Amino acid sequence: MTFVDAPTPGGQESVVAKLSTLDRFLAVWILLAMAAGLGLGRLVPGFDEVLAAVEIGGISLPIALGLLIMMYPVLAKVRYDRLDAVTGDRRLMASSLVINWIIGPAVMFALAWLFLPDLPEYRTGLIIVGLARCIAMVIIWNDLACGDREAAAVLVALNSVFQVLAFGLLGWFYLDLLPGWLGLGEGENLDISMWEIAFNVVVFLGVPLIAGFLTRRLGEKKLGRERYESGFLSKIGPWALYGLLFTIVVLFALQGETITSQPLDVARIALPLLVYFALMWFGTFALGKAIGLPYERTTTLAFTAAGNNFELAIAVAIATFGVTSGQALSGVVGPLIEVPVLVALVYVSLAWRRKFSADKT
């Protein structure tokens, strides 16, 4: 998993034995973090307001801090001198672009209208979630599943560029133009500039990426690659999980009261999200295997396709429709469903890793 380098195909039986207690009970820690966040947000008066007040330009500083701590160790592990091999893989690059920027938003649009035809606010919120392609937390899901770190770095960087350029255009297409074409009623308009999206990308990807790159370059120069990877990386590795758990606690504390006070609405929103994650992950995983990608890159492709940038989705929904809007609630429910589902898919990935290896023998 993320703190133990991926084993060779012949040694997969010993993966669990190599894991620390921290890694082995990952799902338990994440569920406890979700419960703790919901409890704090629900039971401690004003706690969510205190957290929400600590922000710059609509970006929550506690969440940004948690994501930086989470992503930095993983990005420091990336061997940046191997990125050329990733960018040269046309199957991977083309598949990622098509899945993330054509198929993903279209799937969420269809599911939102199919499951929530009578709830326009929630439907709009889900479509916004589908437009916000993942550029942050997917890195740790990929690392936990022993995916290709270099491929993940390239694909999230690619997604970040397209997010800046295409988010507003796709928002206009799916929320305003397409509903009118299909006779589904009046559309919605998103009130967010390209610069706001770019700022989101810089905070949630640019800062940890630069920090990881500089750490790798300077660390290897001073220690050499072997000492850097066996010594320094092993020491900072556990901080990825600490950052993940902190982020989950803060995120759910911010929205604990909203989520727990509207359980039926949460359930209505959750159903299309569950279908979405299943379709995107399993469909993309099958595609990767069909076009001959190795396990590591197939896994990376699947997680970058299924994950979403919930930070951006929530920020856009709140800025455009208000903090108490149904659109904002849909954005909040996104990570409530995404986190446990993608954790479960990490274990599915690791189980299927053996099948990939067996198919090669």
Where in the chain are the domains?
Answer: 24-355
Which helix (H) or strand (E) segment holds residue 157: the answer is: helix 149-172
Residues 252 and 38: beta-carbon distance below 8 Å: yes
Q: Looking at residue 114, what is its pLDDT? A: 95
Q: What is the mean pLDDT of each run of 10 residues along the chain (361 residues)?
A: 41 47 72 87 77 71 83 84 84 94 96 92 92 83 90 88 84 86 73 70 80 91 90 86 85 75 87 96 96 94 90 76 78 84 90 71 50
Whose CA is closest to 127, among 169, 167, 175?
Answer: 175
In angstroms, the Cα distances linking 168 to 48, 316, 320, 341 are 29, 10, 13, 28
* Residue 225 to residue 84: CA distance in whole angstroms: 19
Q: Please state whether beta strands 55-56 and 59-60 pair in parallel, antiparallel, or not at all (unpaired).
A: antiparallel
Write down the pTM of the prediction. 0.80
Residues 311 and 136: beta-carbon distance below 8 Å: yes
Q: Looking at residue 313, what is its pLDDT? A: 82
The label of the residue with tokens 């990376």 reads: 300
CATH code for the part of the protein at 24-355 = 1.20.1530.20
Calculate the CA dihedral of residues 156, 161, 165, 171 and round it to 10 degrees: 10
